[in-house]
Amino acid sequence: MDHDSVKRLFPPCRLACPAHVNIQAYVSLVSNGRFSEALEVIRKQNPFPAVCGRVCFSPCEEECQRNNVDSPVSIRLLKRLVADIEFSSERAARAEPVPRRWEERIAVVGSGPSGLTAAYELVKMGYHVTVFEREPKPGGMLRSCLPLYRLPEDVLDAEIRFIIDSGVDIKTNVEIGEDIPFDDLWTQGFKVVFVATGAPRSLSLRIEGEDLEGVFQALDFLRIAHSEDLELRGRVAVIGGGDVAIDSARTAIRLGPEDVTVIYRRQRGEMPARAKEVDEAEREGVNFEFLASPTRILGLGRVSGIECVRMRLGELDDSGRRHPIRILDSEFELPVDFVVEAIGETADLSFLFGDIATRWRTIEADPTTCETNIARVFAGGDVVTGPASVIDAIASGRRAARAIDLYLRGGNLDALREEELEETSWVKKETALERKSKQEEAHIPVEARRCNFSEVELGLTQTQGMIEALRCLHCGPCSECLVEEDLCEHESPEVDTKDCSGCGTCVTICPFDVMEKDEDGIAKVNEDACKGCGICAASCPERAITIGGLTGGLMIEAVAD
């Protein structure tokens, strides 16, 4: 079946995931303790399961149908669990190099999540891909800017090693535009270039005193905190309300100051940072000064204080939040010894040529095909969208890989626009569901977080993970579900009796109890009760079960290519 030209019905969780990871399949496999197979399913759409299992903002969980009755399935933590099991095993799987099928060579500029995902996908298609990274180690902002208490370096190293083992060639300490002019990539034989350099530069407040000693831009601060012996004494002010600001504040408080204060011009509920991260920052001792905006940084030679003005909130602006307005004659000063500016990030396009930048200093690229207005140049990730999430960057890399492959094979890129995704679920808000308690992960105590970067969240145990996975409702029905008449005319699973081993996996795993064994121990289906979810086909170890319909987003090829 040509999945690029048909309507695909996904359950709400999978549709909400930017990379459309087959959540229903891998959660089902986890519930049966089949962790390595669950990891294979995830890696078909996402080569960073351990990373996303720690830092993803989990849009899938926001759409989980269990929100209607208790709390969402811990999809992110289940992803982390299966990756951690592999990486902690003495028999940890190493990827096998993918044989080359095509002569064309592809260059990727930037080794962050978008660049490495595109490279990984293209290598799987049979291309020779070289990634250029200007830093000493690959990973982009995953390595340089995500705090180690959220993403340990060895976890990132393991993910990247898997990508390299697959056949991706990464050249570090090579800056395109400096060491290699961009135009030289063509003379070196590359047929296509994918630009995925992220948004590595911090925006400036452009206020007096920013040149004083003790003032940091947030991304520089996070890089230094990772790579150098930095000690903060006295009081620290962090300016901003996004995730980078909270990462900076939580990083700062681990470096020994007596006080860390976040200054934000709106109220707490309007912070773009994730509420969970803000709560953890507060638990760790970070203070907050809301409805305040810096006007200048004070000091002679080095920072001694910061002057702010009080704010009030006016009408709603384009962001959907109330616009902050200065209150006249409300200036006040805070004594501080260090200032971290975390008001936003932007791209660095100095290495590019041509009219390719937007007025927001990002690259203009087609959101579906990642094409730019320069021939053979594609772009994706934060360098196109501006600062976004890791999973958004991964999804962008996947789209780029599909488009580049189609381009090099002489296809029509407009075909990528024909795919239709639609949400479907047999669960309705009024559906009576049994409550099941959510499994909670452990954290290291707050008092143990000072003066070190030990990972704070400890994940789920294997037993917890299997119990948590059983909370999944497998709510995606088949594509032929006739909602108006509450009927279903899907194609039921078919069992190949020659291949069926009688193991009973399908009987155990079926959430609707429609699988059973006949007198010979061979699996059979109660077609009248089957909802066509496809869990049995996805989970059959002998691949003896197939289903002809397009089943609620549970793409059978996810585990049975």
> At residue 17, does pLDDT exceed 90?
yes
Closest CA to 112 of 228, 43, 200: 200
Q: In this prediction, what percent of the chain has a pLDDT beyond 70?
A: 89
Tokens of 201: 């530069």
Please report, for the chain, the start and end positions of each structural domain, with discontinuous segments joined by +.
Answer: 1-93+426-471, 105-200+347-419, 203-343, 477-561
- What is the CATH number assigned to the segment(s) 203-343? 3.50.50.60
State the Cα–Cα distance between residues 124 and 561, nearest whole angstrom: 13
Q: How confident is the model at residue 460 (pLDDT cuts 50, 70, 90)?
A: very high
- pLDDT at 485 (0 to 100): 34
> At residue 10, does pLDDT exceed 90?
no
In sequence order, what are the residues at sequence separation of 6 or more whose Cβ sits closer than 8 angstroms to the Cβ of residue 457?
Answer: 54, 150, 441, 443
Contact criterion met (CB below 8 Å) for 172 and 179: no
Contact criterion met (CB below 8 Å) for 125 and 405: yes
* Least confidently predicted of 22-36, 107-121, 453-467: 22-36
User: pLDDT tens for residues 319-376?
Assistant: 788 889 999 999 999 999 999 999 998 888 877 765 666 666 788 899 999 999 889 9
State the Cα–Cα distance between residues 193 and 351, nearest whole angstrom: 13
Going edge to edge, which strands form the sheet with 169-171?
Answer: 169-171, 128-132, 105-109, 190-195, 377-379
CATH of 477-561, one of 1.10.510.10, 3.30.70.20, 3.30.470.20, 3.10.129.10: 3.30.70.20
Cα distance from N-terminal residue to C-terminal residue, the chain: 13
Closest CA to 509 of 439, 559, 437, 561: 559
DSSP secondary structure letter of residue 4: T
Evaluate whether 105-200+347-419 and 203-343 have a shared fold.
yes
State the Cα–Cα distance between residues 224 and 232, nearest whole angstrom: 12
Q: Provide the whole-model pTM.
A: 0.84
- pLDDT at 493 (0 to 100): 80
Contact criterion met (CB below 8 Å) for 476 and 552: yes
**Interior angle at CA 273, CA 268 and CA 274, nearest 5:** 100
CA 307 vs. chain centroid, Å, equals: 37
DSSP secondary structure letter of residue 372: -
Helices of type H across 386-461 = 390-408
- pLDDT at 175 (0 to 100): 94
With tokens 């309300």, the residue in question is 241
State the Cα–Cα distance between residues 161 and 114, nearest whole angstrom: 16
- pLDDT at 513 (0 to 100): 74
Q: What is the mean pLDDT of the chain?
A: 87
- pLDDT at 354 (0 to 100): 57
Contact criterion met (CB below 8 Å) for 372 and 356: yes
CATH 1.10.10 fits 1-93+426-471, yes or no: no
Q: How confident is the model at residue 214 (pLDDT cuts 50, 70, 90)?
A: very high
Q: How confident is the model at residue 1 (pLDDT cuts 50, 70, 90)?
A: very low
Q: How many residues does the chain have?
A: 561
DSSP secondary structure letter of residue 208: B
State the Cα–Cα distance between residues 340 and 253, nearest whole angstrom: 12
- pLDDT at 301 (0 to 100): 93
**What pairs with residue 326 in β-bridges?**
311
**What pairs with residue 150 in β-bridges?**
none
Contact criterion met (CB below 8 Å) for 415 and 390: no
With tokens 């939040």, the residue in question is 321
State the Cα–Cα distance between residues 541 and 523, nearest whole angstrom: 13
Helix axes 462-469, 75-88, angle to 10 degrees: 150
Superfamily of structural domain 105-200+347-419: FAD/NAD(P)-binding domain (3.50.50.60)
